[in-house]
Structure 1
Amino acid sequence: MLPKLISSLIATKKKPTGLSSLFAVLALVALPWTSFSICAEELDRIVAIVEQDVVMQSELDEQTDRVKFQMQQQATRMPPNAVLERQVMERLVLEKIQLQYAEQIKIEVGDDVLKLAIMDMAKQNNLNLEQFKEVLASENYEFDVFAEQIRQEIIISKLRKTEVDNKVRVRETEIDNYLRNESNTAELQEYRISHILISVPSEADNKQIQKAREKTEEALGLIETGEDFGEVAISVSDGQQALEGGDLGWRKGSQVPGLFADSISALKVGENSGIITNASGFHIIQLTDKRNLEEFMIPQYKTRHILISPNELLPMAQVANRISNLKKRFDLEGDDNFAQIARTNSDDRTSALQGGDLGWVSEGEMVPEFEEIMTAID
């Protein structure tokens, strides 16, 4: 049965692989949009220029307020306001750079894909779309603004995945051989790592280097006397994950930066590395947790699809006919031509550029109608 919103022609190959993460989406927090009372003589101002874009003071203020609210909800000690604003500013600038680059390489998220993502968020909260909109409205959160934030999160996630995929090409036979090789069982261990970076400018003099080292030693001293690693990271770290308490998430051994690899393997959960030095500055890492990945092995599906979306010129009845004709063409021309059919016909332009390839997908990542077909194909 065709889904109500989209029709997809999918080709799937099943293979057991390690646990993969869903794309990151904005957490829904009960923080009302602040109505800033600005006097007539007070104007919003530019606080940073990022290539063709800018960061406005109001944007910085709103994002800082959200981060403060999240910290309050998590009972996290607040760093000084100047430190927090610097961290938020760095994140805003990085996101704008990523979005500009994504636009340059034509990474887009269409309205249909966005709507499905939001519907999935609503479903996870046991709400339908209208109820989800009502919850947002009750918190004075404009749906269009929320949706645009979700779109940007998905774009950035796609960009990161694209950059990784462009650098990593592994044949399936190599995966099979790897999994059969008992000498690689250590690679089935994952580590959750937290990180503090005190950066040093590339042309720093001895005085600047010494100042950075002293700051790192002070941070390490706080941690070793019982201060929470995450709170120290929020206060002092220059790393991209500073606002998350330095949390780098779960990583397999091969995904741990070489600088940290030896230290991590020797640490027990809760221990820190002491100070690690390289050209970018001074680092402290903590092993937050570790687990045997073998316990988390789940099925994944190598999936391609062709998306045909209904619109004013193409009603659902014609969508069904078109997808049926494409299926017949695929049956006649064979698997080798699926990529070309996707490139010239799919409305999901991001995957169309990859011949319809969605990569490896875990159960629960796709909408139910798509997943039902995906998991049924041998």
Structure 2
Amino acid sequence: MKQTFALLLLAITFAIAPLAHAQLLPQAASGQTGSGQEQRLDRIVAVVGEDVILQSELDRAVHAVQQQYAQHPDQLPPLSVLRRQVLDRLILMKLQLQHADDQGIHVSDQDVDRAVQAVAQQNKMTPDQLRQAVEQTGQSFADFRQQLHDQLVVQRLHQSVVQSSVNVTQSEVDNLLNSPAYKAGEVHLAHIEINVPAGASAEDISAAAAKAKAALDAIKGGMNFQAAAIRYSDATDALDGGDLGWRRMDAIPPAFLDTIANMEPGQVSPALRGPTGFHILKLLGRRKPAKQVVTEYHALHILIKPTAVVTMQQAGQKAEALYRRIVDKHASFAKLAEADSDDDTTANNGGDMGWFQKDAWGSAIGQQVTMLKDGEVSKPFQTAEGWHIVKRLGERQTDVTEQDARAQARQAIGNRKAEQAYDNFLRELRSRAYVKILVPSLASDGNSKATP
């Protein structure tokens, strides 16, 4: 079962900067000319701070991207452009790992073990099956674990960078909810970004504008937008086809709002000048906010926990005795909860759990309340926490549109601030780092010179 692992880490890399897919893909053997022939000597293609990038490392990463697009090779840019794109991502990854190490950010073997488990579950495999699948691609499992390790380090670096700079106030949420842009709903966008370096000369700006024009001409000539993004975009998501996903209109930079507001799905914008360069946008879809109605349940709860002196079996026997008192002798559920329940959250309130959505108290309790009728008491059931008895009191439909809107607005503001904060961090990190590309064919815009 040969697999491509480009997207395996999505579940554990929430909100981190886009990373090279090449680092998550099967690594091909490099540097071999053929059976029985001598292995080609490796060489350093770039110096990044105190680290280096080897030719073999770049070859593996490029080959991995080519494997990812094996069914659509026409979407890839010329090999010379692809190699520069992949090298830029490898450089950015090394800079982040170096900075994380300087900041004392580390990941344990246990953290990697949990990440392996998460990747396996995401792909409906056991860890052993995942190992076999990775090794069948030609990559060692040790290398795969190292890639997971690096992703986790960068995730923690991202959290460290943004946590102090992302603060969302109630007034910001109120202002956003009242804004016309928020009420306009969401748009699904793809983009092509043509970067203009900081302190760019007139020649740099002219070159970027010419590249943006070439991208637009290619699209008008029939090239698929995704293929054009892969070929022309300088953004870190270029190899993903520039897909930005669904975004609320309020999350769109103000400079682009009017253009997007007047576009129809399928349309492509002209080249728009932004603070970092030129942007070409394609509107893939548009949707309005929908009313959110959920089912809520009201219930009472008794929990009997095992302790150092009470076994799980004995806890179950106590729960069974309480259940019999409730259903046979009509004892007050609330009074028994106050006297005997080990649930610190609800015991003092007679076991009252309030109104809650199905799985708010865990899937086991959620399953029970959906099966019960109003006024009915469940038989004792066991979870890892102990033995539970639940009495369902009621069910209702609740409009949570406003509540969800506030939560989404808060998240949108936080994500926007986090994205901007980390983008600024990466730009500063790259600008002050020592990076020297030693192979002229891999350099562009003068990047063969050491920076800063």
Partner of 1:247: 243
Q: Distance in 1 between matches of 2:292 and 2:154?
A: 26
Q: Distance in 1 between matches of 2:162 and 2:262?
A: 28
State the number of aligned residues. 286
Q: Could you tell me the TM-score, scaled by structure 2's length?
A: 0.54
**CA gap 1:74/1:42 in 2 versus in 1, 3 angstroms:** closer
Q: Distance in 1 between matches of 2:112 and 2:293?
A: 29
The yes-or-no answer on 1:102 pairing with 2:64 is no
The yes-or-no answer on 1:65 pairing with 2:28 is no
Q: Distance in 2 between matches of 1:135 and 1:169?
A: 42
The runs of 5 or more residues in structure 1 that have no matched partner are 1-20, 299-316, 318-362
Output one character per residue of 1:257-290: Cα deviation in whole Å (capped at 9) or x when no partner: 3433332333222222211124533221222334
Output one character per residue of 1:105-142: Cα deviation in whole Å (capped at 9) or x when no partner: 33322221211121121122222112221222233221
Q: Distance in 1 between matches of 2:237 and 2:220?
A: 21
Partner of 2:256: 260
| % identical aligned pairs | 33
Q: Could you tell me the TM-score, scaled by structure 1's length?
A: 0.64
The answer (yes or no) to whether the contact 1:188–1:294 under 8 Å persists in 2 is no
Partner of 1:152: 150
One-letter amino acid of the structure 1 residue matched with residue 233 of structure 2: S
The answer (yes or no) to whether the contact 2:186–2:249 under 8 Å persists in 1 is yes
One-letter amino acid of the structure 1 residue matched with residue 108 of structure 2: G
Partner of 2:440: none
Partner of 1:215: 211
How many Å apart are 1:55 and its aligned residue? 1.0
Partner of 1:140: 138
**CA gap 1:30/1:215 in 2 versus in 1, 3 angstroms:** closer
The answer (yes or no) to whether the contact 1:269–1:287 under 8 Å persists in 2 is yes
The answer (yes or no) to whether the contact 2:271–2:280 under 8 Å persists in 1 is yes
The answer (yes or no) to whether the contact 1:178–1:184 under 8 Å persists in 2 is no
Q: Distance in 2 between matches of 1:183 and 1:373?
A: 47
Greater Rg by CA:
2
**CA gap 1:204/1:67 in 2 versus in 1, 3 angstroms:** same
One-letter amino acid of the structure 2 residue matched with residue 50 of structure 1: V
Tell me the secondary structure at the aligned position of residue 13 of structure 2: coil
The yes-or-no answer on 1:200 pairing with 2:196 is yes
Q: Distance in 1 between matches of 2:187 and 2:138?
A: 39
**CA gap 1:71/1:184 in 2 versus in 1, 3 angstroms:** same
Partner of 2:77: 79
Partner of 2:433: none
Output one character per residue of 1:156-206: Cα deviation in whole Å (capped at 9) or x when no partner: 2333344333221125x5688579x56578268333322222233444443
Which of 89, 92, 109 matches 2:90?
92
Which of 162, 165, 168 matches 2:163?
165
**CA gap 1:169/1:222 in 2 versus in 1, 3 angstroms:** same
Q: Distance in 2 between matches of 1:44 and 1:120?
A: 35
Q: Distance in 1 between matches of 2:94 and 2:276?
A: 23
The answer (yes or no) to whether the contact 1:194–1:287 under 8 Å persists in 2 is yes
One-letter amino acid of the structure 2 residue matched with residue 244 of structure 1: D
